[in-house]
Homo-oligomer: A and B are copies of this chain.
Amino acid sequence: MKYKIDNLQYCKWTREVFQINREAKLDAVHVTIVYHEDYNELLNKIKEWDTFFKENSDIIFLGKSFKDIEKANKENKTAIFFGFQNCSPIEDDISLVEKVHEHGCRFMQLTYNNQSLLATGCYEKLDSGVTNFGKEVIKEMNRVGIVIDMSHSAEKSTYDAIEISEKPIAITHANPFFWHQAKRNKSDQLLKTLSNNDGMLGLSLYPHHLKDNTNCTLESFCEMTARTADLMGVEKIGIGSDLCLNQPDSVVEWMRNGTWAKNKNYGEGSKNKSGFPKQPKWFEDARGFKNLENGLKKVGFNEKEINGILGNNWFNFYKKI
């Protein structure tokens, strides 16, 4: 079988966006439904999604396991898998891990950019690793079946999570540091350790993670993919585009600032480039998967490998959750 999966999108959801994902033939998308929201705020977001599912039931539905990816493929729909970019919805309460799973959560970052109750984010100065509460939460996430996502976490915290977790973990949206030296991108050693423990990396198409940002070429991206495959093994790589289609700049402010500071923080941006960056031409939305397919062929991947990178590898990972 041949599945197409984008394992991270955070678009401003409308029927149009779901349709674009269908045009791109995506069988599954892992969508970020909350950043810094607490449990009650999460429940409100889920109500919004209930409406999306009702109004677009011909093209999307809530995915709960890998079987829903198979189902989506058969029915020409996209299975939507819920994920959180911060652990704030479980607040300080271990019992909420099971609850958020019941509500459909399948991926949760232990941290966004800052320190959380579970681990350290990549924007902190020092990284003390996974905390006492974090250890308990990892155990519980393993038990109920939520993937530990360390995309925004600091390095020691990520090593800790790999070691503590009894199931493979994921970095759903980031690139290798060797290619573009952004704070959010990951070191060779970390990527090797991730892959040695059956973890997956979702390559990001977010301009701040790309060499030359918006001007990154398809060729450069695909060459990086080849080098990453050499490092991690080709079956450990997928796509986590981090597409934020149609989001207003107020949303990137919320992502970066939450409610933790009185002054503005610009995260990966800067004062002069504070908004969402522009996507490269060859990946303006998920229809860019077609360009990736061609680009990956050009750098020498065979068909099976390309199918793996564009979806089958994530499908196999979902089977293990």
**A261 contacts chain B at the CB level, 8 A cutoff:** yes
Name A's B-contacting residues (CB within 8 A): 36, 38, 88, 91-95, 114-117, 120, 123-129, 131-134, 136, 140, 258-262
Most buried by B among A116, A128, A258: A128
Interface of chain A: mostly helix, strand, loop or mixed: loop
* A136 contacts B94, C-beta separation under 8 Å: no
Nearest to A143 among chain B residues (CB) is B262
Q: CB < 8 Å: which of B36, B94, B123 contacts A260?
A: B94
* A132 contacts B117, C-beta separation under 8 Å: no
* B132 contacts A94, C-beta separation under 8 Å: no
Known contacts A117-B116, A131-B114; is A259 also within 8 Å of B136 by CB?
A: no
Q: CB < 8 Å: which of B95, B116, B126 contacts A259?
A: B95
Q: CB < 8 Å: which of B38, B95, B123 contacts A132?
A: B123
Q: Please name all residues of chain B whose beta carbon is closer than 8 Å to the beta carbon of A258 when the two chains form the complex.
A: 92
* B124 contacts A127, C-beta separation under 8 Å: no
* A261 contacts B123, C-beta separation under 8 Å: no
Q: Please name all residues of chain B whose beta carbon is closer than 8 Å to the beta carbon of A114 when the two chains form the complex.
A: 117, 131-133
Q: How far is the CB of A100 from chain B (nearest CB, A)?
A: 14
Q: Please name all residues of chain B whose beta carbon is closer than 8 Å to the beta carbon of A116 when the two chains form the complex.
A: 117
Known contacts A38-B91, A127-B128; is A261 also within 8 Å of B115 by CB?
A: no
Q: Please name all residues of chain B whose beta carbon is closer than 8 Å to the beta carbon of A136 when the two chains form the complex.
A: 260-262
Most buried by B among A38, A115, A125, A133: A115
